[in-house]
Amino acid sequence: MAVTIRKIEQRDFPVLISLFKEFALFEKLPEKMTNSVEQMQSEKEYLTGLVAVNHADEILGYATYFFGYYTWIGKSLYMDDLYVRPNYRGSGVGTMLINEIIAFAKAENCRKLRWQVSEWNQLAIDFYKSLIFQIMFDSQRIWYYNASPISIFCISKNRDRIASCILWQLNLYSLPIRI
């Protein structure tokens, strides 16, 4: 299956809304999803992300992100969501999306990438654990990616239920190649 990763475009908004609803249902919080195509259109400058599409331009998954600034290290990227439709999980779509997010963060000179995952979502936790340590080379530098869960914390109270998640952080370090 040929998959292309591209930036989110306005023409994607109707399909993305349905995927946002799928994701909210998957997260067991469908009542929290209040976004609409109209809202996305009026706030489009704030919607940044990528979609994975097949040869027919069908959206298989998405990742959304935004920039943040941390006082101790500076510019960083926060990945808000990474969602792959159930039929395409395990096919490499999620890996392609997160690798593009990492490449984007690196190209934008971000010092770290952060995201979180629900504590009960073992498939996502296992996926992120598979990223714990990679070494990637380009022509000038060795990039060390060290992804690790840094904390478990309460994110919200929903009636009698406390939802907790694991916060992950990917520190982006580079060292010059010395020969």
Query: pLDDT tens-digit profile of 126-159?
Result: 787 776 544 343 444 444 444 444 444 333 344 4
Domain boundaries, the chain: 4-176
d(CA 118, CA 122): 8
CB–CB of 141/174 below 8 Å?
A: yes
This prediction's pTM: 0.78
Of 49-58, 71-80, 95-104, 162-171, highest mean pLDDT = 49-58
Residue 10 CB-half CA count within 13 A: 7
What are the pLDDT digits (tens) for 18-47?
A: 999 999 999 888 999 999 999 999 999 999
d(CA 22, CA 156): 20
Instruction: Please identify, in words, the CATH class of the domain defined by 4-176.
Output: alpha beta
pLDDT value, residue 112: 80
